[in-house]
Structure 1
């Protein structure tokens, strides 16, 4: 009797780059309010559930990245101040904060997708058994994500309203690095070995899901290396196709087949449908272009409002005051009216840009003012010590003179010391003036 072995199913693990600006679109698709929803069963969307992270993870992540930008900017201004780079301080104040990641084509964040073939989830005979298998997959996925990416996993969810159960996760690789002798917060995907090395990620996820009888995916890179070492033709490169693209291609093929079968009977209807689709597509593209243009204008106005605040601060036209713990932008008395009028007009176009500039620049100015206060206190202590030292020298010299001259100089010394302290503003802490006790020293 021949026994057929059970089919082996592979664990699927994919990484996809993300920029912070993509979070909004990601959230729309997660909540099923936008994106490609053609493959979604809306009657099951209520079954989707969170795995890791808070409900407002997107807002928290965007706020965290903005705080990183502000903190880096404040540290940079503090470093330039310490090095007395006045010209660079003005330039950076006008330029504003920078994104906390290096230029990248893929983005500084990563989306992770974990799944398996639909047949593996559906192989069990009862709904309860299938649900238990999906729950076991979710538990192992959560453990693998937290073990390898820790607190950088800001969000993970389980989707049950598509063809196969799968896990989506978002990784925000936050790290502090040394840059020109100062600390900077950055988003750096390469901090994680499994993002840096694709084969290592496949090995890791294969080992972690092995208890569920799922196996590692095809070792194509290893097969290519062995073929080249043996002087053989390597396996043909298999281009990865995103699930959404595969669905679109499959839907197009089905539509084309049906259209071919009904072509003669529905030729006119098909032509009208094509014209309608083109018209709708053209309208959709026009609307999309208009929306992108509006968004670009808003972004440009926001950036210019931030720049206007920075230029006003650098020119001395603005200052930032603390009003009950809230930073407020105020105009200085010596500001030029013409400059103020131009800066006001630019800021009026974007309240978001003005608020963002206040958030960023208030931290930098607070550090500069704290440093100035510390330097003033040090100068006061130093000058007072020098005056007291000079006074003691006078006492020492006059003590060697005859009594009459000592008394005369003693009176002059008291008046002179008091005037010096008053001129320099150093006598505020003295409770009693120098009197007869010092005359006796003379």
Structure 2
């Protein structure tokens, strides 16, 4: 039986025979297993999808669209959704796996950040997960373009606007990307090759390198962590596959037959991108219309700043944070034991501020929906986000820092005076006193229960 467990662990995840037992370590595994599902379902879909943008008359099974001029890409996506056995399930599982993969990578990065798991010797591992986050977003965007439906057309319009906003070379880059006229017949085949071949290969190679680094440096761990057998990794793999299959079965997502083929100007007001692109949409929505004239040419700062400069700065700081912290603290030691977030007040406060910045941009993507459903002025909602995006991270940083310092002081008090147990004892003389336990005794008592 033990040999079977070792072989199963080798096939599924190639994990060591034991690993640190903490629930926060599961997100990295969920991301890996979601990527496995993405590769398998994507391989299935490639047998039926045609990235051709040639216009054809639709004559498929979906009656409301019969006789409508659509692209071959849209027609093949409808075919795999409505005519291929199991095709719709595969499409929806593939889409849900994308959302879960990016979400798991995002939460895993938060775990690495707040516990200090990016410190030496794991700085390269941090860069790998940041790169996986960016590549996951790129895979989601390129894959979302492929159906050539109404939402795809809206995304292509955004990509066109962002590309054209780049000074000096924007127009030339747009021509290279779209092949002349927009949307053209070149961009979908190009994104198909990126989505199916280049991006997955890079992601798998990064995970292989990350796996090699893990074996070289070992797992980081919390003080006093226990261990669990590797077979639980296999259970998590099947649980991830089962949950993604359940979501693909009962959770409808991207029903392109309801959206219709891509047409200029057909994107509805309520159409929004997937959650991982919400921050970009929100940044563009709340950015003032700044378009100064420089050297006789308009500079579209209203798109350039929120769509390129802000995300570029955010991900650059995110990738370089291990070096930034090492430079600020002068700590170049090797760390294998993780921190509690309260133990690094400034780092935790910076992480909370970054989450606030990202979250406010994400929420700003729904400024029109917020104004509509709460009967508010769109102008007022937009200005609220403009002020909050500047003031919010500062307020959250200071508030989080003070909370961490207060928790540190509480820990010092407990080490000095002990922990209140709430247990009262009466002495023979009739006086009542509370039992005070040492932190070690409290930990032993908790483990026994």
Same fold (TM over 0.5): no
Greater relative contact order (Cα < 8 A, sep 6+): 2
TM-score bucket of the superposed structures, by smaller chain = under 0.3
Name the TM-score, length of structure 2 as normaliser.
0.22
Name the TM-score, length of structure 1 as normaliser.
0.23
Larger CA Rg, structure 1 vs 2: 1
